[in-house]
Structures are given as C-alpha cells and as structure tokens.
Amino acid sequence: MKFTVSKDLRNNKVMRNLLIAFSTIMLLFLALDVTNKALRFGSTITDIKNSFLGNEDEFIEPLSAISALEMVHLDLFIAILLILLIGSIFMRIDTKLKTPFLAITMLLSIISFASFLASVFFSEAFVIISVTSFLAWHISASSMLFVSLSWLLKKP
Amino acid sequence: MIDNYQKTLITLFAIMLLALLATSIALFIMKIGIEPVDIAQHYMGNEETFIVKKSFEGLFETTAPHLFAITIMIFIVIHLLLFTNYKKYVPHLLAGLLISFITDMASGYFLIANLAFFAIIKWVSFLIFQFLFIIAIFLIISDIMRHKTI
C-alpha cells in the first residue's frame, strides 16, 4: 500500500494514473449503485415505501427482515472499503474542510444503513431519512472523488 | 502522532466495522439460530420441522465471498493494530482470528457430511471470532483515543 506512505502521489506517474483510474471507476460505481437501488426499489417515495413495507392493494410483498439484513451486510462491507480508500486519497488534499467532509460522508452512510433497517423493522417514518441519507452519502463521496480527481490531474 | 483527519477516518471505520459485525451476528441468529442444536438442524436438515439439508453448492456460495471479505477485514484491522501500543498482542489475535474463522467456515462442510459434533465447534468458533474481532476493534479505538500514536 505504497500510496498510504507517499506524501505527494502526483510525482509518481504510475501511482497518479492508477489513482485517477481508481477514482473514475469508483465515481461510476457510486452512480450505478444509486441507479441499481432505484431500479430495485423504485424512484419515488411511494414506490420505495411499497417495496420496503409491501402493499396489499397492489399485491406487493414486503421486504423480509433477512433480505434487508443481508443487503445491509453486503452494502456495509462495500461502503467500508470504499470510504476507507477514498478517504486515503482525500487525505492528501490541503484544505481545512477535509475532516468535516469525511466525517459527514461516513456518518451519513451509517445513518443510511441504520434508517433503512429501522424502516423495515420499526416504522415507515424512517423511509424518508433512509432515502435522503443514502443519496446524501453518495453525493458526498462523489464530491470527495471529484476533488481528489481534480487534485490528481493538477500538475504538482 | 496522527492528525484529526486520520483519527476521524479510523474511528468511524472502526464504528462501521462494529456495525458490520452486528449485522453478521443478527443474520446468524435469524437464519441459523442461537444454540448448537439449531446449527445442526440448519445444515443437516430435519424432516419433522421440514428443514431441508444444505447442499454443497449452497454452502460454497456462502464460503467463497466470505473467504475474500473476512480475510481483507482481518488484514486491515491487524495492519492498523501494528501501529498501536498493542502490537504485542497482534500474533495471538491474528492466530485466534484466522483459526476461528477457518474452523467456522469448515464446520459447515463437516455438518453436511452428517458429523453433528461440528455444530458445537461451529458455534464456539463463531463466538470466538466475533469476540476477538470486537477486541481488536476496541484496541484500535482505545489507542486512538488515549495515546494518539497510531
């Protein structure tokens, strides 16, 4: 993990290109993750509520507790690795805002997973929090990647 | 010394890992059960309660991604522990984590081969793995909070 110890990665051409490619693909992943969830659960709050909690009138089965937990289990693993890696690149950027930015991204992702489970297990009131925090942490992580990309593309 | 950014990154990483462990414990309880008898029934099946015996393919589908994911997580956590004041515990923790993880994974295969005794081994190794992983995460958090030397 050379990039965790090298101070200015932009001086190393191979490392720089590698991180540019990595950041670009991760941006694509974040966009596809949102698309994937929108296709699976719907893109309006009503559709999402129906997918999570079911709807007897429209014969939609609710999401089972085990399916919800399995989804969180897998997505949380991906989010942990993703944020850890994005955070390690973002660390190099010289701005006072980087710590609050990172904290907000990580906290939003935790809130997103917790509120998703709360909406399935406890109350439909958590659906809006779940959707909002899910979108917010994806936007926040994408912004971190955009800032990192612009820093990597700049000449040292 | 670590700066605020690194402190935030590692602390929140540790909290997210604890959440991941919580989901794995919840899934274990909800899908399999709490006692060794439940584990034996889950893998070996039970005609009276209409539980179908697990197939080799089904078990392999779970083992393959977990081998990758858990090994990466062990690597990251142990790698972070090496920078703490608790690095003297690393060899024991690593051995404990790897042995309990492999035993937990392998026990399922012995259970579908009708060796019921492995239900107890799976149960114990799962508990040991979770316990050691939680200890490792708390050691990282406590080092960051107290000594700031990671």
User: Cα angle at B134 between B131 and B137, to 5 degrees?
Assistant: 150
> Is A99 at the interface with chain B, CB within 8 A?
yes
Write phi, then psi, for A55 (nearest 5 degrees).
-150, 110
pTM of the model as a whole: 0.90
In the prediction, which pLDDT does B102 show?
96
Judged by DSSP in three states, B53 sits in: coil
Which residues have CB under 8 Å from B147's CB, separation 6+?
B84, B85
Nearest to B9 among A69, A87, A114 (CB): A87
How many Å apart are CA A37 and CA A42, to the nearest integer? 7
Distance CA(B103)–CA(A56), nearest Å, equals: 44
Q: Count, in order, helices (H) and strands (E) of chain A.
A: 5, 0
C-alpha span between A127 and B112 (Å, rounded): 40
Distance CA B5, CA B20 (A): 22
The pLDDT of residue B150 is above 50:
no
Q: Residue A71 and residue A137: Cα distance in Å, rounded? A: 17
Q: Which residues contact B29 (CB under 8 A, 6 or more apart)?
A: none
> Is it the case that residue A155 has pLDDT exceeding 90?
no
> CB pairs below 8 Å between A and B: how many?
60
Give the Cβ contact number of residue B61 at 10 Å. Answer: 11
Quick check: B39 and B123 in contact, CB under 8 A? yes
d(CA A32, CA A75): 13
| A64 → chain B, closest CA residue | B30
User: Three-class SS of residue B21?
Assistant: helix
Confidence of residue A5 (pLDDT cuts 50, 70, 90): low
pLDDT in tens, A80-122: 999 999 999 998 888 888 999 999 999 999 999 999 999 988 8
Which pLDDT score is estimated for B148? 56
Neighbours of A55 (CB within 10 A): 14
* Contact (CB, 8 A) for A41 and A52: yes
Q: What confidence tier does B26 reach under pLDDT thresholds 50, 70, 90?
A: very high
Q: Mean pLDDT, to the nearest integer, of B5-24?
A: 93
| One-letter amino acid of B98 | L
- Subunit contact B16:A81, Cβ cutoff 8 A: no
Q: What is the mean pLDDT of residues B4-27?
A: 93
For chain A, how long is the longest CA-to-CA vector? Answer: 62
* Span B31-42, average pLDDT: 91
CA–CA gap between residue A130 and residue A110 (Å, rounded): 10
CB–CB contact A110 B15 (8 Å):
yes
Nearest-by-Cβ selection for A69 from B9, B15, B27: B27
Domains of chain A: 10-153 (1.20.120)
Question: Does the distance separating the beta carbons of B20 and A91 come in below 8 Å?
Answer: no
pLDDT for residue A156 is more than 80 = no
Q: Regarding predicted confidence, which is higher, A53 or B24?
A: B24
Partners of A69 on chain B (C-beta within 8 Å) are: 23, 26-27, 30
Domain ranges of chain B: 4-146
Is residue B71 within 8 A of residue B127, CB to CB? The reply is: no
Residue A8, pLDDT score: 66
Structure confidence by residue, pLDDT tens digits, B93-124: 999 999 999 999 999 999 999 888 999 999 99
